[in-house]
A and B are shown apart, each in its own frame.
Chain A
Amino acid sequence: MIRYIAGRLPSAVVVLFLASILIFSVMRLVPGDPALALAGPDATPEAIAAIRHSLGLDKSIPAQYLTWIGDVLILDLGRSFVLGGQISDLVLAGLGNTAVLAGSALLLAVVLSLVLSVAVVVWPKKWLTSVVNLLNTLSVALPNFVTGVLLVLVFAVLIPVLPSGGVPPGGYLARPDITFQYLLLPSLCLALPVAAALTRFLSEALRTEMAQQYVITARAAGVPRWNLVTRSALRNALPTMLTVLGIQTGHLLGGAVLVEAIFAWPGIGQLIEQGIGRRDYPVVQVLLLLSVTIFVLIQLLTDIVHAYLDPRIRIGGQQ
């Protein structure tokens, strides 16, 4: 297993290095200038030059890249051009909020998909399958910004039982009941498309598993359908679900940008969106690199878990 993991690491490092060059280059290719964004429309050329110098933007592009990547490697992420603070502080705060949101959304998605997938396979009623399919289609078809606005409209404005946005005022741990209410709408909005994709794949994998010879034999021997699904088919279908979960986690982080904007959730997505709009190069570069790192790590983790669950993969990898 260790050899399998060691074999996967070099490609991850190469991906991260190439990503850093790509991210840095793309940011410099995007039209717009952070010095101008800071200076405002009434700035003089002298003021803009002074700001550009203070931000280090008057150096050559390779020199700027080397300075940046050198600092990142020693974990000095620099200061935000726009927000003024240390990027490490901004990222930690944003990352914490996004992790809470994405984590709760992921948990919700997994629970929902498990419940629905097992239900449609254990009780293969036509109406139940139709309802689940309809919910799946709606969840995938409706973009986050529509679902989010609808949820806010219904549960925060028309029937005002939940907050329309923001984070719990006293922090997440101070009042769990209040935290739960703040989290429910944004995490549900983020979880729905992920849950739909997971349900679709998992229910299909379960159906395939239920058509296997060993299941037919077991059914003929009188083993209840429920036992077959939960004790055998589900375990065999989990690798498929894990693969999809890995990919969907990436999509989920992407979707967080919109959901955080709709629910005024001060996470990484909001930081990226504002950073791009105001050309806050250091913040956007760090956040994009962080996103790539998280994605690479999740893929690595998925591969490792996959290999753990299915020995053929790690043996094949070693060979």
Chain B
Amino acid sequence: MNSSLSTAGLDRRAFFRGSAIAAFAVFGSGSLAACSSAVGEQRSDAVESVEPVRGGTLTLAIPDDVSPAALLTSTTVAGVTISGLVYETLTRYPLDSVVPQPVLAKAWKLSDDGLTLTLDLRDDVTFHSGRRFTSADAEFSLRTYADPKFSAQLRSTAAAITGFDSSNPNTLVLTLAHRTGNIFDLLDLAPIFDPETFDKAVTGESFVGTGPFVFTSRTPNSSISFDRNPDYWVAERPYLDHVEARIVPDAQARLTSLKSGQVSLVAPASLPFRDSQNLAKTSGFATTSIEGAELQIYLGANVTADGLTDVRARKALAYAIDRDRIMSEVYRDTGYAANLPWPKSSPAYDAAKNATYTRDVGKARALVGDLGALPTIPLTYTGASPDFEAAAQIVQANLAEAGIRVELDPVEASIFVKQLIGAEFKGLWLTNHTFAQYVPSTLTVSAYPFNAAHNASKFSSPAYSAAAEGAWQVPDGSSDEAKKLYAELGTQLLNELFLIEIGVVVPQVSAAETVRGLAWTKGRQPQFANTFLA
């Protein structure tokens, strides 16, 4: 028994005092906020204006941090953001075409045989370190891009460059192993690195380029900061003084960050389509579509799996899928149904071919009837993606109407990639791909699902390989000759159906209305030289 009634303890006054302090700590935020508000400090105090305004900090939310070892792949939004702000490329496509425009290369000439490309480089460009940019830097960057350890998507195109002549600091001459129709895709995508600091870029310590913004600091998993490049070669640009990318992994948190004014912009395709659509209707915010930077959603088929070996089964799938419903319900009409991967802006787009497989449950049932009973087919997708989840459920329901039983198999993202690269899918899979917005042949030589030599569908065909190779080796990727070859490639894809396209999705980007002059590349890299806060 404790009899220490007189031991020191709380008295009534002390208790009330402690309670009052606790209550203040819990409920006093309002008064503190009134004095010095963290919310107020995060919001732009700029006045409404349509004329470009100098200065200010643009804060954007991105879903992940950079993987420095994978800087040359587009696997992280942070990597894409750094690539767009800090680095530049030799040429750049506008969003609406695949006609290259000058950036660090002022002019170029492709030889008549298509085997030599001479690039005339700018002589007024310096790296953020202060060193002058020369053709040797461009050579280093293209050689780095071809290095297998960086696993860059257009490595096969970079590897087709067999000779470099950088003896003139303002001219780079590339010798190609064969005619390469997508060489300007490579020049659009390959960032120009500073060789002297590249080691620090692959460890994530520092990123030095020639772009409009200078990398200043990175707090892993928290934020990446950039300052205006005062020596940028484009006069009077950029307008912004600072850009801060905040890493906000949760989609709901990104939305609330934007709504509460903590960030002014959310990176493209980083909000659910429904939220982007709602923000478009909300006062003070705007949502825009990045036409020309499309993604494609598709259903892949392992052509060696039970129930999918016969092309009639795959045709039944193509007829059964309600593409319009998926585009409407899942992607909120931010794109359009398609049978072929190439978007409307592509030279390979063919409206007639894209109507080959429209929803026809009767035809699908007839094809299934011809084949007899089909086994239950697994459908694998990334379970963490609500869009893929919803699309997979619609596909399952559609196929059930045609008499095809599908078992949903949601998996983690890293397991999905493992199965995709290892060609380990047991039946169907649902995901998206990119690169169809570039020169059409890039898709079949660089995007893994379409690769003629080795793909996740375990599909091979001499005719498809020949069509892919032929399209790749046309010197001018947008010429009439090239278009004929793309048509042949499209025919092969529609006949074999190892990949069943569902639709083209246009990425959405949501921002506060005060952010003006936003621009993006085909690879969704930010181009903020002309961006300002109104």
Residue of B nearest to A163 (CB): B38
> How big is the B interface, by class?
35 or more
Query: Does A149 belong to the interface (CB within 8 Å)?
Result: yes
Per the bound structure, the CA–CA distance linking A213 and B66 in Å amounts to 65
Q: Indicate whether A83 sits within 8 Å of B5 (C-beta atoms), given known contacts A274-B221, A274-B249.
A: no
Per the bound structure, the CA–CA distance linking A222 and B329 in Å amounts to 72
Query: Does A302 belong to the interface (CB within 8 Å)?
Result: no
Query: Does B7 belong to the interface (CB within 8 Å)?
Result: yes
Complex contact A43–B421 (CB within 8 A): yes
Per the bound structure, the CA–CA distance linking A44 and B67 in Å amounts to 18
Query: Does A212 belong to the interface (CB within 8 Å)?
Result: yes
Q: Indicate whether A47 sits within 8 Å of B148 (C-beta atoms), given known contacts A36-B417, A180-B29.
A: yes
Complex contact B5–A111 (CB within 8 A): no
Complex contact B10–A274 (CB within 8 A): no
Q: Indicate whether A83 sits within 8 Å of B220 (C-beta atoms), given known contacts A181-B38, A262-B250, A277-B412.
A: yes
- Stretch among B101-109, B258-266, B507-515 lining the A interface: B258-266
Query: Does B2 belong to the interface (CB within 8 Å)?
Result: yes
Query: Does B371 belong to the interface (CB within 8 Å)?
Result: no
Per the bound structure, the CA–CA distance linking A66 and B151 in Å amounts to 30
Query: Does A282 belong to the interface (CB within 8 Å)?
Result: no
| B279, chain A: closest CB distance, angstroms | 12
Complex contact A39–B2 (CB within 8 A): no
Query: Does A201 belong to the interface (CB within 8 Å)?
Result: no
Interface string of B342-375 (1 = CB under 8 A from A): 0000000000000000000000000000000000
B221: which of A46, A149, A227, A271 is its contact (CB, 8 Å)?
A271
Q: Indicate whether A51 sits within 8 Å of B151 (C-beta atoms), given known contacts A37-B417, A39-B70, A163-B39.
A: yes
Complex contact A264–B39 (CB within 8 A): no
B262: which of A82, A165, A228 is its contact (CB, 8 Å)?
A165
Complex contact B246–A31 (CB within 8 A): no
Query: Does B219 belong to the interface (CB within 8 Å)?
Result: yes
Query: Does A223 belong to the interface (CB within 8 Å)?
Result: yes
Complex contact B41–A178 (CB within 8 A): yes
Residue among A39, A54, A178 with max Cβ neighbours from chain B (10 Å): A39
Interface string of A175-217 (1 = CB under 8 A from B): 1011011101000100000000000000000000000111000
Which of chain A's residues 20-50 have a Cβ closer than 8 Å to chain B?
Answer: 31-33, 36-44, 46-48, 50
Interface string of B140-169 (1 = CB under 8 A from A): 000000001111010100000000000000
Complex contact B32–A181 (CB within 8 A): yes
Complex contact B250–A264 (CB within 8 A): yes
12 residue pairs from A and B, CB less than 8 Å apart = A40-B70, A47-B150, A79-B203, A80-B220, A84-B67, A93-B220, A155-B29, A177-B35, A188-B26, A235-B7, A261-B250, A270-B249
